[in-house]
A = this chain, B = another copy of it.
Amino acid sequence: MIKYPLGFKKEKIDENKKHVNYKNRGLSLESLINDANKYYEVNDIAFIYKKPTPIHIVKTDKENTIIKAYFEKPSTTDYNGLYKGKYIDFEAKETKSKTSFNLNNFQPKQITHLKNIDKSGGIAFIIIYFKEYDEYCLYLAKDMFNYLEKENKKSISYKEIKEKGEVIPLTLAPILDYLKIIDKLFF
């Protein structure tokens, strides 16, 4: 768990830096999203949860402790839920690249899943954290599939994500208020 909101202090901005750097604060993308989801839940704003990691259990002991199990590949995205009566579904990924987001960050089934949700009236997107720019971008699955159709590539350029997507501004509560972007785009 991250300390929040007390642990959150804006860094003094160094004029030579383009971006405020939170990289070494231990605020992982996953913890920022879980934290936002918790905030949304307790304030009756949205009910969005991270799915548990799928695991194949091989053996348990007499006390029902798991003593042998394997991690499985996810076939859907990590996060889904309900916001303003709409079905929300997304995946969150970090990248060190400065120029693009590589689709091999996803399992092929996750891409199919995002396509299914987008086609069927859900709000499907990805949140990409560009570590080198310290930017959290929300990019709609719809835009991703349009881009991939045109470009026939295995990655999405940073330029495209910045043009079509939205940078999620960091705020106090919750820090990564990604539903603000969903409001802007859908409501």
Contacts and interface: CB of A to CB of B under 8 A. Distances in A.
Interface of A: 41, 44, 46-47, 49, 51-55, 64-71, 75-76, 80-82, 84-87, 89, 113, 116-117, 119-122
Given A67-B68, A69-B69, A47 B82 contact: no
B82 A121 contact: yes
A82 B52 contact: no
A118 to B, nearest CB: 10
Contacts of A117: 47, 82
A51 B52 CA distance: 7
Given A65-B68, A69-B65, A70-B66, A84 B52 contact: no
Contact of A120 (B70, B76, B85, B89): B85
11 contacts: A47-B116, A52-B55, A66-B69, A66-B71, A67-B67, A80-B80, A80-B81, A82-B120, A82-B122, A84-B120, A84-B121
Give this chain's copy count: 2
Contacts of A116: 41, 44, 47
Nearest to A119: B44
Contacts of A69: 55, 65-66, 69
A80 B68 CA distance: 28
A32 to B, nearest CB: 20
A66 B58 CA distance: 10
A53 B64 CA distance: 14
B55 A66 contact: yes
Contacts of A85: 87, 120-122
